[in-house]
Structure 1
């Protein structure tokens, strides 16, 4: 009997030890690092119209996204950002969705509210967060608010919701019938807060603020610095409101500026900013190879400027998005070593701090550029081919709203690349899942330059620790077209090998107690 009791006692002690052991897993009694870091994710940007068609009408839709969440999960994605899906001006050729006519409803071409709610629910079962594009700088000139404000100038309750330059002309930051809202009007601010709450109640966990740089520039004769300060305060007030509903909500802003010193103050009211400076560094130093010895030190300097404004800053790292020509169309990422450079750009994106953003099709090497008003047989086109149909290799879900043009469908398809172990798609899968499985890469914003950096090899140390659980990793990139060998002490080889191929990457776990031996 004593032996039986001893056995039960031993098992109970082992169970207790296991229950108290910190882990990156998500078991009942383990530390859930993802829950502790709700603003560190691997995002996938989706232009719904082009992603996947579920009903055969040629236009991508909510159900098309839902039916392909397994593809995104397999890719390593932990969150999705969907470009505008609110009700928009379908009669004005507004394919992009930024001419909002109803903030509380969805674009009927994409499906119904029930379809969207099902998508959010299915994403949640896969532990994927969902961020929406929130367009509050302006509304369409056909929005009921503006129509009433214009038609009933003396009596409309919405007259002061817009900025009037003349009695009949409202200010536009962006031409084309997009009228700026007057965000100094408290009624408008309260409406924006109501909109945020509405979508949080639907399950939205993050908001991407379009044109954050332009939110207050419509006030004539006002000092730009004053307007910038108002922007930061305004975003902070929205953030405070949203966190009352969801403490883990993400506020991400688009401030289109390549100088990091021009955007640092925005971290006062934002958790994350798309980092155009870092994107430009990747295009230049990975693509062109210019001044590569400064690559990591430049990025570290930029990141250090953000910290005083927000210690928990989470930069949005990207190399392509819907407002830019696709990276695979850049001259420096084409040619004999183009694929290798694209892989290195992906490796950098997926190993830097913050939240990396993969633009749909980027993982396939899709090309796409802007055209200045040419006719390709489907009417006049401008930026449509930056947002061309995703290349599934499966006609049953490929969208057809935009005909192929100038190689827009020339990248190998998903079906083809999944079968090729050396494909760009499988490289993205490997690096994204590596990041997801290693807290030293996935969480926190620690970044220090490796003390043995040269013009050929550029490396950085990443470190994360929470309640006794931590990991330190050393990432080294070969910035050249020739093989390089690395001689460095490490605990575990996580990715690659010590002989780095052209534009190759190695990721090593190192001893956290010896971190100072690796940094300057």
Structure 2
């Protein structure tokens, strides 16, 4: 009689590192009836082994404390069956890995949708291991952008003044349609093969490090895709949030209920339990099962996976998708575990709210959160209220009590609500919003005003790929219409906007302004951490200063269609003893004893002498 034994199909994490703060690791072992086996190791301390309702899983809790880097092994044994071993590597950490520096307010973050940025390797456009094939003609289809395309354009980004890159997710998404956005992940230890390999991702990080640039991973804690291998064979029913009323429906809708998207229920002292539950536990969409971070195994899996990617790739930060939809205490514990391992590691949470107090609640050490004994431990949040203002105020030519540049002023009035005002991400647009050049109908003047504000106010500026060459979109036609291909990213493109010679006249006008502004910011510490002093707008003109030690930058945003002349004596507190200043875009030297004339709908950025 032939003896059969379970084949160990997966072991996750696939390796770990010596000298980590996190030495107690939970190994997920997956294979048919693997729970029938006993696990042992000659060298690794096995604390205990946990079995679940699904016999295809074993959770082996180990401790690597005191072990040096090297090859180890586990033995799987079952009475009456052939035993087998599985090798496991403890690797050497990179030097100073724990103390790695992260992105901060000295950086300019460039956001890309990798499928739409540049196709550097056409051989991986369609791959046999994933379902959806390349179809560039389809707005919501795969277009072929990949990691090699990003690597090929790092010189372009560096020349533009970019210092950090945030890419939307790159992990495998095996949905049959709309897999290009990669937020419905099917394997979180594997780069999607249409983008490249894990080694390619690590190579991107290395190439960026050599340029003193930083790589930010878009990490998704709230949900996975319905095609995730683990979702399709749940280790525990409580691994994801499920609703009994929907039990018995076809997968993936079995147990599904949609989120009510009301994130305010997370801190509303008057909220009903059912409303809170449908926010936290409801699925983001029917194809994205909602992960239950209250389940200790689920949370541990997410913590270890995040740390694995940081250590493996040499990452410089996370942007966390739908941060405030997670189980509140669970996501706080996830965040703390990562920052305990890497004290300088920055994490920016997507908290898409429209009130500063509500956004500030989610920032680390928030005094507002402390009122409910809550600390998210998340160092950075996104300034969505500024984004809201930028999308309307430059259309408001006739200033009133509430319209025009007062919207910018009023946004910064509430900075006292934030625990760390420098660690806010400021932006005019991203991959989920309308493009700024569409909102303002392709107006270069409006783009200049918006980008000058984003690049010179407090916080960490984030810009969206293609806007620096005037790319527009139409949110009303779907997300694909704001996630267009960057011209020149494909060999068959009519023009190559990655090069000066390849840009149209209009594209070059956008690009030359952007490059001048972004590189000035890169070289000006006062715009990184300088104190912000601002003045009430008059005649739709907003004036503010950024000062650090002996460096001061004066910014004037004239949102009035008409030319305005300013009496600078009003701004003595900001100007101090300076008598002249050099204006960035004209390179003119200005006498600060004279009135200052500003053209309609235009910015000035003045370095004071």
| TM-score, length-scaled by structure 2 | 0.65
Please tell me whether residue 258 in structure 1 is matched to residue 359 in structure 2: no
1:181-330 matches, within 5 Å, as 181-201=291-311, 202-216=313-327, 231=328, 233-268=329-364, 269-289=377-397, 290=399, 291-306=403-418, 310-311=419-420, 313-330=422-439
Distance 1:492 1:418 in 2: 33
Does the Cα contact within 8 Å between 1:267 and 1:313 map onto a contact in 2?
A: no
Does the Cα contact within 8 Å between 2:106 and 2:522 map onto a contact in 1?
A: no
Alignment match, 1:9 = none
> What's the offset of the Cα at 1:464?
3.1
Does the Cα contact within 8 Å between 1:120 and 1:204 map onto a contact in 2?
A: yes
Does the Cα contact within 8 Å between 2:102 and 2:317 map onto a contact in 1?
A: no
Distance 2:207 2:184 in 1: 28
SS in 2 for 1:240: helix
SS in 2 for 1:358: strand
SS in 2 for 1:328: helix
| Cα distance change of structure 1 residues 39 and 457 upon mapping to structure 2, 3 Å threshold | closer
Q: Please, which moves more after superposition, 291-300 or 108-117?
A: 291-300
Cα displacement string for residues 289-327 of structure 1 (whole angstroms, at most 9, x for unaligned residues): 352251342122232221xxx235522111111111212
Please tell me whether residue 88 in structure 1 is matched to residue 195 in structure 2: no
Answer 1 or 2: which has greater helix percent. Answer: 1
Does the Cα contact within 8 Å between 2:160 and 2:518 map onto a contact in 1?
A: yes
Higher RCO by CA contacts (8 Å cutoff, separation 6 or greater): 1
Distance 1:67 1:37 in 2: 22
1:85-164 matches, within 5 Å, as 85-149=170-234, 157-164=235-242
Unaligned runs of 5+ in 2: 1-99, 126-142, 248-253, 258-281, 365-376, 569-574, 589-595
Distance 1:415 1:131 in 2: 30
Cα displacement string for residues 46-75 of structure 1 (whole angstroms, at most 9, x for unaligned residues): 100000111234511001000100100011
Alignment match, 2:545 = 461
Does the Cα contact within 8 Å between 1:52 and 1:398 map onto a contact in 2?
A: no
Please tell me whether residue 179 in structure 1 is matched to residue 289 in structure 2: yes
1:387-398 matches, within 5 Å, as 387-392=483-488, 395-396=490-491
Taking only aligned residues, the RMSD between alpha carbons, in angstroms, comes to: 2.8
> What's the offset of the Cα at 1:494?
4.8
Distance 1:68 1:436 in 2: 19
Structure number with bigger Rg:
2
Alignment match, 2:599 = 501
Please tell me whether residue 473 in structure 1 is matched to residue 553 in structure 2: yes
Distance 2:473 2:156 in 1: 22
1:47-62 matches, within 5 Å, as 47-56=113-122, 57=125, 59-62=144-147
Alignment match, 2:71 = none
> What's the offset of the Cα at 1:35?
6.3
Please tell me whether residue 346 in structure 1 is matched to residue 451 in structure 2: yes
1:480-495 matches, within 5 Å, as 480-488=560-568, 489=575, 490=578, 492-495=581-584
Distance 2:604 2:109 in 1: 23
Cα displacement string for residues 377-398 of structure 1 (whole angstroms, at most 9, x for unaligned residues): xxxxx31111110123x75275
> What's the offset of the Cα at 1:141?
1.6
> What's the offset of the Cα at 1:258?
2.1
Distance 2:359 2:202 in 1: 34
Cα displacement string for residues 449-507 of structure 1 (whole angstroms, at most 9, x for unaligned residues): 136x3133201122335xxxx53322111112222334535353252454322222222
Does the Cα contact within 8 Å between 1:300 and 1:447 map onto a contact in 2?
A: no
> What's the offset of the Cα at 1:92?
3.5
Alignment match, 1:431 = 517
Alignment match, 2:6 = none
| TM-score, length-scaled by structure 1 | 0.75
